[in-house]
Amino acid sequence: MALLPKRHIHQDVMQITNNLIKNGGFECGLAPWVAGDVTNTRHYVRGPGDASPNAFEFNQVGPVDPASNMNPAFLTQDFTATAGTTYRLSFRTYFDKCTPSEGFIGVRLNQGSGTTVDACDFGGSAGSFKSNSITFTPTTNAVNVRFEFLTSEPDAVFKLDNIAFVPI
């Protein structure tokens, strides 16, 4: 039997008791997340994940449609939080490579801007999961988190895993 390579294991979001995100480790498939593809993109829930067998995976499977910059592929979830409370959105990202045209994952909270993450943000060390987080204080109890996938590479692969939204 072949041994699997060791990898650094991060806390599985299933163990975070105050996480408002449902299924942030994708162990129960996609729901309640909603994913949207555009021309020549596909999404999957499959492994390997970060701290668990599965992750959300975005693939650009053909030529990039120029319209996807205005209407990108996405992953989104709505949930309820407490207005006026500050939260930390944490998530792990994976990019298959770091090139100038690889692209990025955009993060939006309640339709506003949040942050962007690309493989080159980590010194060009693509090919492994990296930690990301931002803070957010909602002004209403309704919260929407949306990840957008933008690339110019016809064979790009991005992954998301261990997504959590917890009060700080």
pLDDT at 92: 95
Task: Let me know: does 79 contact 152? Beta carbons within 8 Å.
Answer: no
- Which pLDDT tens digit goes with each residue over 20-68? 999 999 999 999 999 999 999 999 999 999 988 999 999 999 898 888 8
pLDDT at 52: 84
55 vs 164: CA distance, rounded Å = 14
* 2 contact partners, CB below 8 Å, separation of at least 6: none
Evaluate if residue 15 carries a pLDDT over 50: yes
CB atoms within 10 A of CB 37: 16
- Which pLDDT tens digit goes with each residue over 49-62? 998 899 999 999 98
pLDDT at 14: 59
For residue 54, which amino acid is it? N
Q: Which residue has the tokens 């390579």?
A: 5
pLDDT at 113: 81
63 vs 106: CA distance, rounded Å = 20
Evaluate if residue 157 carries a pLDDT over 90: yes
- Which pLDDT tens digit goes with each residue over 96-124? 988 878 889 999 999 988 899 988 887 76
